[in-house]
Amino acid sequence: MLTVCGVFGFHTLILNGASTSPTNAAQASLPPTPLAKISSKKDIRELLNGKSFDNLTDKNIKLTVGRQTLQVETSLDVDLQNYLLSKMDRKNSRDIGIVVMEANTGRILAMAGFDRTGNTGNPCLRSTFPAASIFKIVTAASAVDHYNYTADSTMHFNGYKHTLYKRQLTDKISKHTNSVSFKDAFAQSINPVFGKLGEGRLGKSLLEKSADTFKFNESLDFDLSLPPSHCQVNDDPYGWAEIASGFNRDTTISPLHGAVMASAVLNNGRMVAPSIVDRIFDEKGTVLYHGQQSWEQQAMSAKASMVLDQMMQTTIKSGTARKSFQGYQKDKTLSQLQIGGKTGSMDNDTHEIRYDWFVGFASETNGQAKVVVSIMVAHEKFIGIRAGEYARMAITHYFSKLQEKAAAQLPLQANEKNPVQEI
């Protein structure tokens, strides 16, 4: 059975009854006290605990709690959400998770997913996917903050870019050694460079500390229950190299967490807390809950966020995401944006599934709008639409609508500034 997973898809949810029948709804016990106010995301999580949200069609939904019917107003851009759902390659994918979030507020604009099995939940909220080279964001930030690396620092490596043999982790330099800037090592996702940082520089303690600052092994403050992403650092130096480069299957992350990580690049190093519930009303229209911007912890310094910004833009221009964004500088919509990203890929143990990542951002060059995107695609036998292609679709669709809206307002603004006089 195929299941298309969005967010808040059941238009009426019975939270205190065993079924959705009116009889059970009426018989459901009321909360100990009236729902006068919902004051925190913890309250939201308790209200929505254990419920799955599939096949969204509306921005607003009804929620039945005991004998009360509440209206939940989400932050979703329904046009963007439905556009992404319509573009999903369900034929060649086991799982797809797409998250688009306002970078400075944390409001989720789209959280669209596809799960072929239909029984493992929304992939956007599943924290079991190998992070792969997305973890290089953590490693790069730590290298800047603890060892003063810059985007132009010279790095050395031997052998192939995307392998990670123990012999590649030495500092030996010969005529066969390759030299590359730190930003190009990041953009091209060169494993030996990041493996050497993990084993020879950061080590166990800094890798653990850096993972913690990016909220691995700890739940994000979100409106829905979300298992924490996972990173476990052992005592093996080669294991440190694997973690730092993302060359392992044990470090896992959710697409939503990927978006939160990217938000730190645009917020001077601090991650914004994600949210999807804007307001909740009771039957009389009284506002019981009003979402507000909140923050996660500081993941890296402002200096490191500037370096990551440059590195991620290089990934789009000349790195592993260049094919997905080919010609973007001449595109009507994309040419007006600053775009950055990080890609990652990893097979599962049996090599039946290829996990494909893109985590990044887009911000207006001459405007205020900023979004982060995080896409994970689990390809099967054939590679369909790649994560970077979904990212381009999402960014183009969202900003083209903003640009169209701005263009439509220009004549009105011009008339307001220069009113026509009657004679």
In the chain the domains, ranked by start, together with CATH numbers, are: 3-74 (no CATH), 78-410 (3.40.710.10)
What mean pLDDT, rounded, does the chain reach?
A: 88
Q: Could you identify the residue written with the tokens 């800037």?
A: 181
Contact between 288 and 282 under an 8 Å Cβ cutoff? The reply is yes
Output the pLDDT for position 58: 80
Which is nearest to 46 in space by CA: 237, 344, 289? 289
| Residue 305 C-beta-side C-alpha neighbours within 13 Å | 18
133, 259, 362, 379 alpha-carbon torsion, rounded to 10°: 50
Taking the CA atoms of 17, 11, 93 and 187 in sequence, report the sign of the dihedral they define.
negative
Instruction: Give the residue from 21, 179, 83, 118 showing the smallest Cα distance to 401.
Output: 83
Contacts with 351 (C-beta within 8 Å, 6 or more apart), sequence order: none
pTM: 0.89
pLDDT at residue 243, as a whole number: 98
Determine the pLDDT at residue 1.
39
User: Given this model, what pLDDT does residue 25 score?
Assistant: 37
Q: What is the pLDDT of residue 416?
A: 52
Q: Judging by beta carbons within 10 Å of its beta carbon (0-12, 13-18, 19+), is residue 12 exposed, middle or buried?
A: exposed
pLDDT of the residue at 62: 86
The predicted structure's pLDDT at residue 49: 72
At 173, list the tokens. 């330099």
Q: Which residue numbers in the chain have pLDDT < 50? A: 1-33, 418-423
User: What's the CA gap between 15 and 64, in Å, rounded?
Assistant: 7
Cα distance from N-terminal residue to C-terminal residue, the chain: 70
Position 54 scores a pLDDT of 60
Q: What does the alpha-carbon distance between residue 210 and residue 102 come to, in Å, rounded to a whole number?
A: 24
Residue 245: per-residue pLDDT: 98
Residue 23 confidence (pLDDT): 37
Largest distance between two CA atoms of the chain? 86
**CA 123 centroid distance within chain:** 12
